[in-house]
Structure 1
């Protein structure tokens, strides 16, 4: 019995260590994402997928995709109901337009505020940046991805596409996810952030 217990502890300990190793990421953001996806209280994964979960697939971190953008605020923009994957229509407003250079070309994206979310503590300066690119359906989630930013004091802000993540409905159809506006299509491959999720 004593020997059995020792063997069990060794196997259990090495399995835990293996889990931790498998959930490791290249960056702190990747590690936090993997930890959240493994955590039953935070994970968007279905139970069967979470139990098998070894870590998200990420593109390799690439500093090319960390860009400094010019922000042009659009205070005259009117609130609108953003389409989602369900009948839910959350209220957003276009906060501004961000302009940046990536791989030698200049691009623009609309950046939004969720009018319900900014009422919540800690989200007062939260900005939402959904986008489509040429990896969608060919490496990344077909419906596009999201990234986030915080309201800058001035007119420049850093956008890190290495933190691009999938909508929750990429993992579980019970979620209602904003559909990326077509205006936010980037005609190049953004090989950064989270890749498409392979369901088992």
Structure 2
């Protein structure tokens, strides 16, 4: 995400990277895998819930921080916290990652006249509520050259809650390149692009291929000004 002087997108991803660093210790302690099934043991569900709550707390902390918050001062000064759906571990699924090493960089459309350079890193295939889905996941050719972002992946998506409880333009999920061919996809960690809070930002638009014909009632809700 970038503003008109081309710094917003970098700042946005830096903010989310800082958040990721804050959460990595607790995330690394979660050795279990959580699947889209009601048969997941109680201990594992509790671990997943703790991870989701930790993410929410970290995101709220970043929005309160004047150094990295996307909120205009008039909103940040009275900011008490983002509104989230109730955590639901059935929206925390394992996806198969099919890498696309031959994919070429392209210019992704944004909410302004600017464009964001991205490359399709791979295809995520997963099952949610018994139905199969596929999403493209992206890597920035420029961002990958920066320290700390070498394994960063960007997942924009939309669903049937957009404009009906969630931001109309869709939401994002931050991911890291896994060592194997599977990746934990937690929709509870879906967050809004910065342009949902501040018009100075230019946000990548969700490609048509990543528009899910299903409701994803978890993650961050629409921002009420």
Q: Which residue, out of 79, 101, 121, partners 1:95?
A: 121
- State yes or no: 1:150 paired with 2:181: no
Q: Tell me which of 53, 72, 86 is aligned to 1:46.
A: 72
CA contact (8 A) 1:44 1:172 kept: yes
Q: Would you say 1:120 and 2:155 are equivalent positions?
A: no
User: TM (normalized to structure 2)?
Assistant: 0.76
Query: SS at the partner of 1:82?
Result: strand
List aligned pairs for 1:36-115, cutoff 5 A: 36-115=62-141
Structure 1: runs of 5 or more not aligned:
1-25
From 181, 188, 198, the counterpart of 2:207: 181
Give the length in aligned residue pairs. 175
In 1: Cα distance, 2:140 partner to 2:185 partner? 18
- Distance, in Å, in 2 between the alignment partners of 1:62 and 1:153 is 26
- Residue in 1 that maps onto 2:9: none
State the alpha-carbon separation in 1 of the partners of residues 146 and 87 from structure 2.
Answer: 31
Distance in 2 separating the partners of 1:139 and 1:116: 33
Q: CA deviation at 1:87?
A: 2.0
User: Structure 2 CA distance, aligned partners of 1:47 and 1:184?
Assistant: 33
Q: Deviations over 1:76-113 (max 9, x none)?
A: 21110111112221211001100000001010000000
Q: Bigger radius of gyration, 1 or 2?
A: 1
Aligned structure 1 segments of 4 or more residues deviating by more than 4 angstroms: none
RMSD: 1.2
Partners of 2:201 and 2:78 in 1: CA distance: 20
The TM-score normalised by the length of structure 1 is 0.85
Match of 1:90, SS?
A: strand
1:90 and 1:116 in contact (8 A); partners too: no
Say whether residues 1:140 and 2:166 are aligned partners. Answer: yes
